[in-house]
Chain A
Amino acid sequence: MEYNVVHYGATGDGTTDDTAAIQSAIDSALAAGGGIVFFPAGGTYIVSQLNVSEGLIIEGYGATVKRPANQSKWTRTFTTTVAGYLYDGSADSKPLIFQGLTIDGNRQNQGAYRNYELEQAHLIFLMGNAANSGKLRAVIEDCYFKDCVADAISVYTNVSVQISNCTAVDCFRGGVVVTGGYSDVHVNNFKAHGTVHATGIDVELDGPGYGNTLKTDITMNNLYLPDGDFDVAVLQGSTFTGSNIIVNKPPFNLYAENSTVKIMNSVFHVGVLDDYLDRVVSPYDVTFQNCTFYAHKPAGTTGNRSIACIHLFQFGNANQTLRFLDCDFKADSSVGAADTVYAIYFEGDQLAKNNRVIVEGGSISNRFNYGLYWKFGGRAIVRNTYVEASTCFYFGVTSGGYDYDVTLDGTIAKNHTKLLEIAAGNSSCKLTTKNIVLTESENTLSLGSGATSVSYGGGRLIQGNSSPISRSVPGLPHDVFRLNTAVSGADYEWVCTTGSGTAATWKRRTTLGP
């Protein structure tokens, strides 16, 4: 049955407070076990807070629900939290459906909020009672959210929600915000943007759901964030999968402690290195596939800055795997010539933690100062990746277990000034090279103190026109130097026995027969 809010006294005139009238329509529907609460198109319905529950279809194509001025922090435009409305079953509820509404948070007339004074003043707040095993089921589709001082759609504990074809603009804390455990959230065809607030997506699980868990599963597909702010922090065995996500500005933040994150076919623009937000932290099981990462210098950022597409913090956790499969790293036009740009910047990691980073395929453009940069060590495999960074691979200072174990397999480096820079390294450090063929001009190394202690597995093949002996040819132990043109009866191959960034020691390995 349809419960027309106007029949119950709502005026939709944009001035009169229609809260009580609309609540009457809702309560009438709920008393019947649910129904369509219908907002006629063309009206602007002034509403402070409406209590809603399972079984309702809140339908308002062409209608606007707007907050009055100066609402309190705890006033949510639509909320499921009030006693008598809060879902607390042991099985999942009937759906609560929102369709077609514009919800206007009237941000300009709410007083101070930019220091989170009004952080709970959401437009739609969903939760189920965490004491029970059932979830509040909800569907939000074809809705438009604007000018909110908190979250457009806020999902807390014990919720199963499908959000599709919605737009959020200038919502202070985000378009879709997930903060509760024991929920599942599915977002499709969602745009969040704004000139005042980027809006974006915010997943920050801090409210335990049923079973005292923060675990929540999230899928997001076709997500468009032209003004940035992709902030996903999951933990305790949560899963986040996403595809076709475009984030055109920073921040880009991902935290995945003991959680799985799989993101495909997406584009992210990532900000400055010392920004607290632009980080990848504790990537327990994280894969990016066929994604492009752009280094981006936010408007208003002054001075020459360091910018990293991926700023990785293993954060002391163990057995974590971060994969980049067929991903490209680039810098957009916001980055200045004097900025220092990194594709992947590894903060310190101890080998004993058994974390690994796998970079497979893809490319790193010539706009980067550094391709892969290990500040204090870490374990990684880079395979079949095309690298054009100024310094392709940088290995920083190591000590106290913060050592590196890196395999470069089939990597192709071009247009670089320095292929490898090893600032230091002790006997716990290991560099393995496989399937690497270089011309002599591409073989540019910089080896600092201690690099001779590094264990070198495998060997690179360097191709030149004349013997490396008695001239300065850089090399790593086990490298092979081979002549481009074989000459019968002459020396053909040499092996590096002592590495050097300038003049390595080479010993003859092969002489061709007549």
Chain B
Amino acid sequence: MSEEKNKKRIISRRKLLASIGAAGVALATRGLIQANTVHADNESVSEAVYGAVAEKKKPPGKESLAVDWHNIKDYGARGNGSADDFPALSQLISARLSAESGTVYLPRGTYRIGTNLTIPANAHLVFDNGALLAPDAGVTVTIAATISAGTYRIFAGSGLVRQRFR
């Protein structure tokens, strides 16, 4: 997946959230919108949000583009280095990654993790430059997910990060 396409997706989602208004944002960030996929293509907002038309269309060729892209901040993460972002990440995982694969995007920020957590193998973590996953002392974050990051620090905190593939 090209960087260009990633960017488009993010932008599309932002546009989408703006278009459905404040209440919609609240719902979306709590993960209560049940649509599995937010398509970053030319479908109308209403089609994307409510899915009715999209379900009917389902051209086989389009399914391959239906990759989740979950911004951790959309799930309530603060990334300010002081708030515990465990609940947000945990919720993202249970809501989005229990049944299918997906990409978790961590924008710049320090994400404190206060409780042991496993990020499953069907996730793909994308770290922006300056995004830090920071388990507290005594806490272990186990990452079975694949990681995309440049040559910069992505792990911090006094706890442990354990990468494993299963």
Contact = CB atoms under 8 A, between A and B. Distances in A.
A32 interface: yes
Nearest to B146: A1
B160 interface: yes
B156 A9 contact: yes
A4 interface: yes
Contacts of B155: 7-9, 24
A31 B163 CA distance: 8
Contacts of A10: 153
B166 to A, nearest CB: 9
A31 B147 CA distance: 17
Nearest to A43: B151
B152 A6 contact: yes
A7 B153 contact: yes
Contacts of A237: none
B86 to A, nearest CB: 19
Nearest to A9: B153
Contacts of A6: 151-153
A270 interface: no
A6 B149 CA distance: 10
Interface residues on B, range: 10 to 19
Given A6-B151, A7-B149, A40-B151, A1 B156 contact: no
B54 to A, nearest CB: 36
B108 to A, nearest CB: 15
A28 interface: yes
Nearest to A12: B151
A28 B151 CA distance: 18
A8 B153 contact: yes
Nearest to B159: A24
Interface string B138-151: 00000000010101
A324 interface: no
Decide if the interface of chain B is mainly helix, strand, loop or mixed.
loop
B51 to A, nearest CB: 36
B161 interface: yes
Nearest to B150: A6
Contacts of B160: 24, 27-28
B56 to A, nearest CB: 42
Interface string B33-48: 0000000000000000
A27 B160 CA distance: 9
Q: For this complex, into which size category does the number of interface residues on chain A fall?
A: 10 to 19
Contacts of B151: 4, 6, 40
Contacts of A40: 151
B83 to A, nearest CB: 21
A21 B163 CA distance: 14
A4 B127 CA distance: 14
Interface in A384-443: none
B162 A7 contact: no
A255 interface: no
Contact of A1 (B152, B153, B161, B163): B163
B164 interface: yes
Given A8-B153, A8-B155, A24 B164 contact: no
B153 A32 contact: no
Interface in A1-32: 1, 3-4, 6-10, 24, 27-29, 31-32
A4 B154 CA distance: 10
B165 A1 contact: yes
A32 B152 contact: no
Nearest to A11: B153
B116 to A, nearest CB: 13
B128 to A, nearest CB: 13
B163 A29 contact: yes
Given A8-B155, A9-B153, A32 B163 contact: yes
A100 B145 CA distance: 28
Given A8-B155, A24-B155, A32 B149 contact: no
Nearest to B147: A7
Contacts of B156: 9
A9 B154 CA distance: 7
A359 to B, nearest CB: 61
A29 B162 CA distance: 7
Contacts of A7: 147, 149, 152-155
Centre residue among B147, B149, B153, B160 by max chain A CB count within 10 A: B153
Interface of A: 1, 3-4, 6-10, 24, 27-29, 31-33, 35, 40
Q: Closest 8 interchain pairs by CB?
A: A32-B164, A7-B154, A31-B162, A40-B151, A9-B153, A28-B162, A8-B155, A6-B151
